[in-house]
Chain A
Amino acid sequence: MSLVLSRLGNTVKRLTSFSKLCKSKRVFASNEKSKVPQKPTWSHVEENKLTEETLIDNETIDHLERMSLVDFNNQAGIDRLNKAIRFADQLQLVNTTGVEPMDTVLENRSLYLRSDEVTDGNCQNDILQNATKVIEDYFVAPPGNIPLPDQERDYGPASAKKRK
């Protein structure tokens, strides 16, 4: 009798632990059946799949600084751009034959037309209030149309390796 009871007890224990096991594994089991993929479905693009790497040369550096009127400041700045270009090179892997470029998600909408009424202006104060320099209600700028002088740039090791 005690043997039967103890065996029953063990079975109960095993059943309990089995059900506990089932419970704990339930998440695992449901994960496996889950609609959510349990492993990453893509991996980062390998370097060798991309086109030839572009490293910007001094001429481009100069050109960009003049176009942007901001400077790279240091080698880190140039490296940052090189990396950004490399990252963007992944776009070449996408087949876009026959695809129209998208300017805006509103490309199928129409431009709103405003009536020809004077509703603005006559707010000289508002316009001038944030200007650091004002002379007799005019904004003030230095003489224009003088391009930036050529600069000696010390950006560390030469970045020119390949010409684009």
Chain B
Amino acid sequence: MVGNVFQVAQKLRNGSLIPSEVCSWCIRRSQLAKRLNVFITELPDYAQQLAEKSDERIALGKPLGLLDGIPIAVKDNYCTAGIKTSCASSMLENFYSPYNATVVQKVLDAGASVVGKTNMDEFAMGSGSLDSIYGPVRNPWSRVYARKRQMLTAVTSSAGVAIQQAQSGHGVSLSASQRIPDNYDDSYKSFSMEEDDWLIAGGSSGGSAVAVASGSCFGALSSDTGGSTRVPASYCGVVGYKPTYGLVSRHGLIPLVNSLDTPSMFTRCTDDAAAILATISGIDVMDSTTVQDCSVPFSLPDDASIEGLHIGIPEEYHAPGLSEETLDTWTWVADLFERAGAKVTRVSLPHTQYSIVCYSVLCVCEVASNMARYDGIEYGYRSEQALSTHALYADSRHTGFNDVVRGRILAGNYFLLKRNYDAYFVQAQKVRQLITADFRRAFDAGVDVLLTPTTLTVAPPYKEATQHDNRTMSAQEDVFTQPANMAGLPAVSVPVKLSSQSLPIGLQLMANNFEDKLLLTTAKWLEQQVQFNRLDLVEDSLGLGELVH
């Protein structure tokens, strides 16, 4: 079963599918994808219950909306009543929220079936989904990559054909029509994935990205503070969309950086993103940072057009370390826009280079503050220490938090010390003002949408990624994505094409505040042009267990 929310919803309407069937299918997929370590909490029974209720409603011809009966996954930093919310941390390993996050409630009220809580970096700190107490998330394209590598080293006479056909490695097909050539059966049987062959999924919302990429759900809620949605989207070949700050309520989203966090989503296509946004957006009295915007909800035109659109190419986004293939893809797409009638100009956002530095300061400062509540008294891990309140707190926080979290708390408190406050925190706030002004200037000059790479490279292998510490990695991975969070702009990563190693390359589009419709329409146009082949896990005749090893 392939398709997007619209296609599935149509089938549900016309009765060719029922929600509980769709739900079972997704749950089976998540079983296939178990080694990818997508979920912290799987909810097959709960999802089925919800799906059965959808069955009844749809049978009566009274669906709650487009999402009724559609399986959705939720990142494990959203509070879900009665279901564990751990943020992938020992600190909240046994935390059961008494309430639902607003976006979760909205999704449930729309009739969706929540299939599970997805894996992530601890407290959303990281760009790789590597720092979780439940283990790292694995990129589903890893098999393709490993297979490709193996195939490339195998010497066959039909090397050229083999390379092309190797893109349909066993168990993973790029389209339903391609099949494994018979002469590769043997190599398949001896095929094994070494630990090193795994690629990272990107983070911090890696679990949600892979949930969508693997077909375990049709959409997944995530968060984006500095690229936590767009980076994994780029690595996993799915659409990762961060709405304008303030469009979606953060009530119930356990915060990383309150002034940058944006509830976001992964979907298979841009239409789905618009559909999910329509469900989850809206002013919320429980969140004073939500704003009323009349442009939402919206749906995207069937024929997305970019006639008269002004695309800006910010030159500073050719940062050191940008891979050749990503650069070529960026160039190619810019060209694509121009040939199709859009006006493409180069623009300058001069403070881009300092954006990541600014982010590194503001992020840790807010982290230091937001993490101050974890003391084990009202909730969370509590050590046995009883000498004094401070001793208890220190001990609980030592065990409950990993090195990354503790490191950020210490750094944040350092920058917030009276003697450092002006030089670091206030200076970072001023640089943030400058970055926002850069964008404003570009948009005021007539640019509609900015086109940039999402990440420097394709998904790196695990071995390579773990050579750097979390902080360094974030500084590299998030270099293109966090400026949009600084200015609150809507941004989306669209998978464009495969690299020479058959890994997805994504590009980022950014628009002005509250121009989400324009942004997604442009993204839809691009999507229609590039026709990116999505990853599709198919059931293997050899049995489920063989598929993922």
Contact = CB atoms under 8 A, between A and B. Distances in A.
B430 interface: yes
B245 interface: yes
Q: Is the interface of B mostly helix, strand, loop or mixed?
A: helix
B217 interface: no
Nearest to A71: B398
Interface stretch (B116-124, B182-190, B387-395, B496-504): B387-395
Given A104-B259, A111-B288, A141-B377, A40 B319 contact: yes
B469 A80 contact: yes
Interface of A: 27, 30-31, 34-45, 56, 60, 63-73, 76-77, 80-81, 83-85, 87-88, 90-94, 96, 99-106, 109, 111-112, 114, 123, 126-127, 129-133, 139-148, 164
A84 B360 contact: yes
Given A111-B288, A139-B378, A70 B410 contact: yes
A81 B411 contact: yes
22 contacts: A35-B338, A36-B327, A36-B346, A39-B318, A40-B321, A42-B316, A42-B353, A67-B413, A70-B398, A84-B407, A88-B424, A94-B351, A96-B434, A102-B436, A105-B245, A105-B436, A106-B245, A106-B246, A114-B285, A130-B96, A130-B380, A144-B389
B377 A90 contact: no
A131 B378 contact: yes
Main SS at interface, chain A:
loop
Contacts of A139: 377-378
Contacts of B472: 83
Given A84-B471, A102-B436, A129 B411 contact: no
A68 B410 contact: yes
Contact of A30 (B335, B391, B392, B427): B335
Contacts of B354: 90-91, 93-94
Given A84-B411, A148-B390, A73 B403 contact: yes
B410 A105 contact: no
B75 interface: no
A105 B318 CA distance: 26
Contact of B322 (A40, A105, A114): A40
Contact of A71 (B259, B394, B426): B394
A146 B429 contact: no
B533 interface: no
A80 B407 contact: yes
Contacts of B335: 30, 34
Interface of B: 94-96, 98-99, 245-246, 259, 285, 288-289, 291, 313, 315-316, 318-322, 327-328, 330-332, 334-335, 338, 344-346, 351-354, 357-358, 360-361, 364, 368, 375-380, 382, 385-394, 397-398, 401, 403, 406-407, 409-411, 413-415, 417, 419, 423-424, 426-434, 436, 469, 471-472, 475, 487-488, 513
A84 B359 CA distance: 12
A103 B429 CA distance: 7
What are the nearest 4 A-B pairs in CB distance? A101-B429, A105-B488, A130-B379, A126-B98
Contacts of A31: 328, 331
Nearest to A85: B414
B433 A91 contact: no
B245 A35 contact: no
A152 B73 CA distance: 47
Contacts of A67: 413, 417
Nearest to A34: B331
Contacts of A73: 398, 403, 406
A69 B288 contact: no
A112 B487 CA distance: 21
Given A36-B313, A69-B397, A88-B424, A146 B388 contact: yes
Given A42-B353, A114-B285, A130-B96, A87 B475 contact: yes
Given A44-B320, A70-B394, A91-B431, A112 B378 contact: no
Nearest to B352: A42
Contact of A123 (B98, B358, B377): B98
